[in-house]
């Protein structure tokens, strides 16, 4: 009786294993999803910090240790965003116009950050630390006109463009 019962349980287990669905994701698709998730996380982080950069922009006439660190942190985040796009083989400029992975509010935040970076760069006391980000700084400044153009034509921004309100 025990043998029959054991045989019955084994056959049920084998039967259930053979009927299992194959829900596998290939490695390339998984990598693509990871890159997309990282892009959305970084852009969300930048978007959340826009109020900090607006305040820093308003107080960027005088050098401060806090603004120095904020300047370097912003460049680090932007570099991370650009590198993640490159790593995933996604064209950043095309993506910002389609809002596929990055939102209009994140673009508004990038615009605010750029304004802060531009205004504060002359007051930066730790210029030697910022040299590492020269390429990132150049790339983000080139994109500023694109950000402004997108923001002027985007009626769907939650609070309107905060960047366009900064003078």
Segments making up each domain of the chain, as ranges: 50-167
| Tens digits of residue pLDDT in 121-145 | 988 888 888 899 999 999 999 999 9
What share of the chain has pLDDT > 70, as a percent? Answer: 84
SS in 3 state form for 42-96?
HHHHHHHCHHHHHHHHHCCCCCCHHHHHHHHHHHHHHHHHHHHHHHHCCCHHHHH
CB-CB contact of 163 with 147 (8 Å): yes
Predicted TM-score (pTM) of this structure:
0.81
| Tens digits of residue pLDDT in 8-64 | 455 555 665 555 555 677 888 888 889 999 999 999 999 999 999 999 999 998 889
């Amino acid at each position: 009786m025990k043998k029959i019962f054991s045989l019955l349980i084994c056959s049920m287990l084998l039967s259930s294993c053979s009927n299992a669905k194959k829900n596998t994701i290939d490695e390339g698709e998984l990598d693509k999803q990871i890159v997309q998730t990282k892009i959305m996380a970084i852009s969300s982080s930048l978007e959340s910090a826009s109020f900090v950069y607006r305040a820093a922009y308003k107080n960027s006439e005088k050098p401060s240790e806090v603004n120095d660190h904020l300047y370097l942190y912003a460049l680090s985040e932007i570099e991370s965003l650009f590198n993640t796009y490159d790593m995933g083989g996604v064209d950043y400029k095309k993506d910002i116009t389609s809002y596929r992975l990055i939102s209009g509010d994140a673009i508004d935040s990038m615009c605010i950050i750029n304004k802060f970076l531009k205004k504060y760069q002359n007051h930066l006391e730790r210029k030697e630390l910022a040299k590492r980000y020269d390429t990132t700084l150049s790339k983000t400044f080139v994109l500023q006109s694109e950000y402004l153009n997108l923001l002027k034509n985007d009626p769907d921004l939650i609070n309107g463009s905060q960047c366009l309100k900064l003078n």
